[in-house]
Structure 1
Amino acid sequence: MKESTRRDFIKKSMIAASVIPFLGLPGNIWALNNEFNPEELSVHIFSKHLQFLDWKTMGQRVVEMGFSGIDLTVRPKGHVLPENVKTDLPRAIKDIQNAGSTCQLITTSVEDVNNPLDVDVLETAASLGVQFYRPGWFRYPENGTMESAIAHYAQKVKALSELNQSLGIVGCYQNHSGKFVGASMWEVKQILAEAIPEYFGAQYDIRHNMVEGANSWENSLRLIHQNIKTIVVKDYKWGQENGKWQPVNVPIGEGMIDFKRYFRLLKNYGINVPVSLHMEYPLGGAEKGKSILTVDERVVFDAMKKDVNSLKKLWREA
């Protein structure tokens, strides 16, 4: 086989592998895949880090920095409060779109289909064309076994997936290091086991997976890759703070994550999904979602632009 023909075959195969799982789904969910390009990365900034901006200004700055869109916080202390979702989310998305950006992802505190406020968030988001949402994290109760807790949360996720199917939106559970349910990808796999796979999957976070799994992260990615709907990116290294060893967050490319290896694996699996960029290294309070900064806004914008450009370059080179 000629090399040029081989490259074309690989590219077409990757596209097919990414689209096939989505056939038969409501058209508005997978509109993004009509523009699928394995050579480009769709990066959305986590709006937590732009809490000091209003919706319209945020949309304008995001376009200027080269992001594909915004992963909007629709949760307590977020850009849109859950109790105001019916009035404020339409206004927020309109302002973002009028600025030339998009809102395909939201981050929420949703946990239970029996909570009317959670249902309001999902119904409103779906009606506005939001494609993906991250729910809140589950926690292990002090009483009872971990196995029973996982079984309980698997039923909650199943119910959410059924609601998602009726609305045309996809839930994505993020793995998070620490004591949350889902620090291990095996836990995530188990809580997703009974969900409708097209409507509830994983938001894979390479940073948190490496903190918990160190050199076994490739096994975890292999385990969960068929469930991945969106991914989170950030970088870190181990260091001492106040005399204690712990993960220290750093700009993209300055830490321990081998992004080229990671991105090559994603490409091999045929995965090119929306990316939410998180920036948790010191940025004058922006890293913590502060509405008042201790640095000039341009410091934050410059850091964001640098990170998004680094990610796109690493993806192209992988």
Structure 2
Amino acid sequence: MENTTRRKFIKTTTQALGALPFLHPLQTLSQIPDKLDDTFPVYLFSKHLQFLNYRTAGEKAAEMGFAGLDLTVRPGGHVLPENVAEDLPKAIEEIKKGGSNCHLMTTAIDDANDPLDAEVLKVASQQGITHYRCNWFRYDESQPMPDTLKEHTQTIKSLSELNRSLGLKGCYQNHSGTWVGASIWEIKTLLEGADKEYFGAQYDIRHAMVEGGLSWENGLRLIKDHIKSIALKDYKWENVGGRWKVVNVPLGEGMVDFKKYFSLLKEYKINVPVILHAEYPLGGASHGKSEISVSPEVVYTALKKDLKKAEQLWGEA
């Protein structure tokens, strides 16, 4: 009965106050609210609970107050791509039995013409997944960078076409470093040929600020109409052994200006799934380990603290 009540509460709250993330792509745009609500539904990246089975992951996500799970469906994830037909329906059913839900997934998909990638998306669509994050792309060092970017742009276009046939929204995450998409301008180029309704960006403020410490606001304004989901995390620069490095930290303890960021999300009326990532040391949970070196309660306490901080900062923005 307790789990049934929890499921009912989460479902009702999500539908009433944060329904946009779960609208089927073919539903009318007139149902999109004209302003963001004071509520702030946050989903948990299941990478951090890969030491748990599906049902327990659902139970813990609900107990901590998350709106649902962003399930890892990729090599080393909660669901392995080669087992998707059998394991994804089971995973989603068990997550629901645990009192949570699963409309989001993170994948290694990077080719609409790959039979396994197509199978993953087909099964996901059948199981009620609405959004997924695809794999990252690399530059081909044997050719000019613009040529590689052009090829990846075609890849994204093909994925968006497949998404349209399945009613899915795909996302490419901006990521700091030398992979494709560290610069928001690269993301903008990647999406130029895509069907805007079915493929966009997963905007990651941590990576955006690492790459554009003072210009991230321009990047957000550039990409705002293409954002389909958001990843939340924090960081700081730290001198480690005489070298300055990016160090991941709990939410609100780093350099991300969340109040400014959240105020811009409200101003731009960006209402998409928000996913919490905890990349700082958590005994292996931050890296998706199936066995962790700390008590599970340490992980739950940290994740719940991050969630409460996100809600606080959202309310203050």
TM over 0.5, yes or no? yes
Query: What is the match of residue 306 of structure 2?
Result: 307
Query: What is the match of residue 122 of structure 1?
Result: 121
Change (3 A) 1:148 1:289: same
Counterparts of 1:221-300 in structure 2, within 5 Å, are: 221-300=220-299
Listed one character per residue, the Cα deviations across residues 185-237 of structure 1 (whole Å, up to 9, x for unaligned) are 00000010010000000000000010011110000000000000100010001
Query: What is the match of residue 82 of structure 2?
Result: 83
CA distance in 1, matches of 2:304, 2:96: 20
Query: What is the match of residue 180 of structure 2?
Result: 181
CA distance in 2, matches of 1:254, 1:25: 36
CA distance in 2, matches of 1:276, 1:194: 26
| Matched letter for residue 206 of structure 1 | I
Change (3 A) 1:56 1:49: same
Listed one character per residue, the Cα deviations across residues 270-315 of structure 1 (whole Å, up to 9, x for unaligned) are 0121111110111111111111111111000000000011101111
Query: What is the match of residue 111 of structure 1?
Result: 110
Q: State the superposition RMSD in angstroms.
A: 2.1
CA distance in 1, matches of 2:60, 2:236: 29
Shift of 1:243: 3.0
Equivalent pair of 1:41/1:272 in contact (CA under 8 Å): no
CA distance in 2, matches of 1:91, 1:64: 21
Gaps of 5+ in 1: 1-17
CA distance in 1, matches of 2:140, 2:54: 37
Equivalent pair of 1:111/1:136 in contact (CA under 8 Å): yes
CA distance in 1, matches of 2:24, 2:95: 29
Shift of 1:169: 0.4
Equivalent pair of 1:139/1:180 in contact (CA under 8 Å): yes
| Matched letter for residue 224 of structure 1 | I
| Matched letter for residue 212 of structure 2 | G
Change (3 A) 1:89 1:24: closer
Query: What is the match of residue 4 of structure 2?
Result: none
Aligned to 1:218, what secondary structure does the other structure show?
helix
CA distance in 2, matches of 1:41, 1:241: 35
CA distance in 1, matches of 2:118, 2:250: 36
Query: What is the match of residue 14 of structure 1?
Result: none
CA distance in 2, matches of 1:66, 1:222: 30
Is 2:192 aligned against 1:196? no
Change (3 A) 1:80 1:24: closer
In the comparison of the two structures, how many residue pairs are matched? 297
Query: What is the match of residue 133 of structure 1?
Result: 132
Is 2:206 aligned against 1:207? yes
Query: What is the match of residue 64 of structure 2?
Result: 65
Gaps of 5+ in 2: 1-18
Shift of 1:23: 9.4
Query: What is the match of residue 102 of structure 1?
Result: 101
CA distance in 2, matches of 1:61, 1:25: 29
Listed one character per residue, the Cα deviations across residues 15-37 of structure 1 (whole Å, up to 9, x for unaligned) are xxx97xx999324x99x968x85
CA distance in 1, matches of 2:240, 2:230: 28
CA distance in 1, matches of 2:311, 2:24: 30
Counterparts of 1:44-59 in structure 2, within 5 Å, are: 44-59=43-58
Equivalent pair of 1:42/1:273 in contact (CA under 8 Å): no
Aligned to 2:200, what secondary structure does the other structure show?
strand
| Matched letter for residue 155 of structure 1 | Q
Residue identity over aligned pairs, in percent, reads 56
Shift of 1:242: 3.5
Shift of 1:240: 2.0
Query: What is the match of residue 9 of structure 2?
Result: none
| Matched letter for residue 223 of structure 2 | I
CA distance in 2, matches of 1:243, 1:51: 34
CA distance in 1, matches of 2:305, 2:187: 32
Query: What is the match of residue 26 of structure 1?
Result: 26
Is 2:187 aligned against 1:168? no
TM-score by length of structure 2 reads 0.90
| Matched letter for residue 272 of structure 1 | N
Shift of 1:244: 1.9
Listed one character per residue, the Cα deviations across residues 148-184 of structure 1 (whole Å, up to 9, x for unaligned) are 0111001010000000000000001000000110000
CA distance in 1, matches of 2:36, 2:228: 16
